[in-house]
């Protein structure tokens, strides 16, 4: 804390959302008058309008400063309240909780907690949780943004782990997809700006030329709702120009799993042999020129070192004859190509024709240039992909499972 005259400058952090931006609170004559960025703090390079407005919140005449008890019936159009002491408020609340637990069990109560992302509950959340658990109550009504639920839960269900943070400090290419970090996540935006200043390429997918879109090396101006087509188009270019990590797709995705041409279903061990495992998936080992089973339970192939096919049509000897199959990745690549404007895929053409993708050829050139930012000399773990989180699950799931789960 520094002090000059009656002015105090107190370092701390803004608690108005989960970003916890480092700041300096300026106190004049005992009153908070200003909140300023604290560049010496790791997240303190900038503050948003809400953080800067903290003095208005703190000093507002309508701010609730002490406990109130309702003295008119619920639903009264003119509700009346009386001020009570903190001790009385705590004793009343504890008494009522105990009464409810005794009469009907602690399960009769539900604790409701506001989101930590947009409120100052980030500090209080663990304490409410502790109270709930000490009370023996299993019911919590927690609000969470659609995007965060996707990030923490759906991503884990889809890919086996939560969405990690992008490695912006080391990346050579930042992709902001529908994500204007400068207005929605200030510390993240500061890190993106630092990455760009360091020389990282910046690709922004956004209908609007705002924030980082105006500074991007490549701005892809999609029309709302056409992101999926763009993602598949980018993937199509990356596959055609061999700008992707083939061994990663082979070893860490369901791309090698064979999909039957006759019914679009994943080939299983039971299709090969009457006594085969119906939950085992099948890939094609090019070296052995034979199928190789994948065990879902162990998450491994029956033999190591197999050179798994990712493309082409494969005749697999089944228990009832030859079954024509294609690897799931081959179907996915085909979908990406159909979304490529040059190849004239029907879906993409129709979207362009009805105006959903904007200028078809312009967008195509853009997606080609954007895809080329993922250049071969760029290590795969050096690309930071930052999505607006509510889109992530749909897009990834749709893209990766395209064809494989029909
Ligand atoms: S983003 Fe704004 S509200 Fe959130 S911590 Fe930073 S300054 Fe405060």
Cα–Cα dist 52/84, whole Å: 32
pLDDT, residue 372, reads 52
Q: 136 with 177, same domain?
A: no
When mean pLDDT is compared across 64-78, 276-290, 356-370, the lowest value belongs to 356-370
Output the CA 58–ligand 1 centroid distance in Å.
Answer: 15
Whether 91 is covered by a domain: the verdict is: yes
Q: How many domains does the chain have?
A: 4
Average pLDDT over residues 186-207: 91
Residues 257 and 319 in one domain: yes
Residue 197 located in a structural domain: yes
Q: What is the DSSP string of 217-239?
A: SEEE-PPTT-HHHHHHHHHHHHH
Cβ atoms 125, 362 nearer than 8 A: no
CATH of the domain at 55: 2.20.25.90
Please, is 84 exposed, middle or buried when counting C-beta atoms within 10 Å of its C-beta (0-12, 13-18, 19+)?
middle
395 to each of 251, 277, 307, 372, how far by Cα in Å?
Answer: 21, 31, 29, 20
Query: Could you give the percent of the chain with pLDDT greater than 90?
Result: 50
Residue 399, pLDDT score: 43
Q: Is the pLDDT of residue 387 over 50?
A: no
Looking at residue 86, what is its pLDDT? 97
| 115 lies in the same domain as 174 | no
Average pLDDT over residues 38-53: 92
Residue 241 pLDDT: 87
Whether the predicted pLDDT of 195 surpasses 60? yes
Atom of ligand 1 nearest to the CA of 35: 7
Q: Domain for residue 127, yes or no?
A: yes
Average pLDDT over residues 110-137: 89
- How many angstroms separate the first and last alpha carbons of the chain? 62
> How many C-beta neighbours within 10 Å does residue 87 have?
9
Centre of ligand 1 to C-alpha 47, Å, is 6
What CATH code is carried by the domain that includes residue 196? 3.40.228.10
Are 53 and 90 in a shared domain? Answer: no
pLDDT value of position 289: 95
Residue 364 clears pLDDT 60, i.e. is over it = no
Split at pLDDT 50, 70, 90, the class of 95 is: very high
Looking at residue 342, what is its pLDDT? 39
Domain contains 88: yes
Residues contacting 99, CB < 8 A, separation 6+:
none
Do the domain assignments include residue 244?
A: no
pLDDT at 377 over 60: no
Q: Is the pLDDT of residue 351 over 60?
A: no
Own/partner long-range contacts of 146-149 (Cβ < 8 Å, ≥24 apart): 146/389, 146/390, 147/388, 147/389, 147/390, 147/392, 148/117, 148/389
- For residues 53-57, average pLDDT: 95
Domain for residue 170, yes or no?
yes
Q: What is the mean pLDDT of residues 304-309?
A: 91
pLDDT category of residue 127 using cuts at 50, 70 and 90: very high
The answer to whether residue 406 is domain-embedded is no
pLDDT at 188 over 70: yes
382 compared with 349, residue with greater pLDDT: 382
For residues 135 and 182, membership in a common domain is answered with: no
**Average pLDDT score, the chain:** 82
The predicted pLDDT at position 224 comes to 85
Q: Which of 293, 308, 333 represents a domain boundary (last residue)?
A: 333
Ligand 1: lining residues by beta carbon, under 6 Å: 14, 16-17, 19-21, 47-48, 50-51, 186
Which of 15, 16, 43 to mutate for ligand 1's pocket (most ligand atoms within 8 Å of CB)? 16
> The whole model's pTM is what?
0.64
> Which range has the top average pLDDT, 92-106, 133-147, 176-190, 247-261?
92-106
The whole-number pLDDT of residue 40 equals 95
Q: What is the pLDDT of residue 368?
A: 55
Cβ proximity of 269 and 402 under 8 Å:
no
* 13-27, 43-57, 234-248, range with the lowest pLDDT: 234-248
Say if residue 270's pLDDT is above 80: yes
Q: Is the pLDDT at 149 greater than 80, yes or no? A: no
Last residue of a domain, one of 333, 368, 384: 333
Rounded to the nearest whole angstrom, what is the distance from the C-alpha of residue 153 to the centroid of ligand 1? 25
Q: Is the domain of 126 the same as that of 189?
A: no
Q: Indicate the angle between helix axes 346-353 and 328-338, nearest 10 degrees.
A: 30
Q: Whose CA is nearest to atom 4 of ligand 1?
A: 17
Supply the range of the domain harboring residue 31.
2-59
**Nearest atom in ligand 1 to 186's CA:** 1
Point out the domain boundary residue: 221, 237, 263: 221
CA of 115 to the centre of ligand 1 (A): 14
Closest atom of ligand 1 relative to the 23 alpha carbon: 7
85 and 115 share a domain? yes
Q: What is the CA(152)–ligand 1 centre distance, in A?
A: 21
Asked, for residue 362, whether it belongs to a domain, the answer is: no
């Amino acid at each position: 804390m520094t002090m000059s005259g009656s002015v105090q400058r107190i370092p701390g952090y803004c608690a108005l959302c989960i970003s916890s931006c480092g700041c300096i609170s300026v106190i004049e004559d005992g009153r908070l008058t200003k909140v300023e960025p604290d560049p010496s703090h790791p997240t303190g390079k900038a503050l948003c309008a809400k953080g800067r407005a903290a003095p208005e919140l703190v000093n507002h005449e309508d701010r609730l400063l002490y406990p109130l008890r309702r003295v008119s019936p619920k639903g009264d159009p003119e509700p009346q309240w009386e001020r009570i002491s903190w001790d009385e408020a705590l004793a009343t609340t504890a008494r009522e909780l105990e009464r409810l637990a005794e009469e009907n069990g602690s399960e009769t109560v539900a604790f409701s907690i506001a989101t930590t992302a947009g409120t100052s509950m980030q500090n209080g959340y663990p304490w409410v949780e502790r109270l709930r658990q000490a009370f023996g109550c299993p019911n919590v009504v927690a609000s969470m943004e659609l995007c965060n639920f996707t990030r923490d839960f759906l991503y884990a269900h889809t890919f086996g782990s939560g969405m990690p943070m992008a490695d912006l400090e080391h990346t050579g290419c930042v992709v902001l997809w529908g994500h204007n970090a400068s207005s929605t996540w200030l510390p993240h935006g500061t890190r993106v700006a630092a990455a760009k200043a360091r020389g990282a390429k910046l690709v922004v997918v956004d209908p609007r030329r705002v924030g980082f879109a105006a500074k991007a090396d490549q701005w892809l101006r999609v029309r709302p709702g056409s992101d999926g087509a763009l993602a598949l188009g980018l993937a199509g270019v990356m596959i055609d120009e061999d700008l992707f990590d083939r061994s990663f797709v082979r070893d860490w995705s369901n791309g090698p799993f064979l999909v039957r041409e006759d019914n679009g279903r994943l080939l299983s061990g039971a299709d090969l042999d009457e006594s085969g495992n119906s939950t085992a998936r099948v890939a094609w080992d090019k070296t052995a020129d034979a199928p190789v089973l994948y065990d879902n339970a162990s998450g491994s192939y029956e033999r190591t070192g197999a050179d798994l096919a990712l493309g082409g049509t494969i005749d697999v000897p089944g228990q009832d004859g030859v079954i024509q199959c294609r690897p799931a990745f081959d179907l996915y690549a085909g979908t990406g190509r159909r979304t490529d404007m040059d190849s004239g895929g029907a879906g993409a053409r129709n979207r362009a024709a009805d105006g959903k993708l904007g200028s078809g050829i312009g967008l195509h050139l853009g997606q080609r240039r954007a895809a080329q930012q993922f250049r071969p000399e760029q290590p795969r773990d050096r690309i930071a992909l930052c999505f607006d989180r509510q889109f992530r699950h749909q897009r990834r799931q749709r893209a990766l499972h395209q064809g494989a789960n029909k």
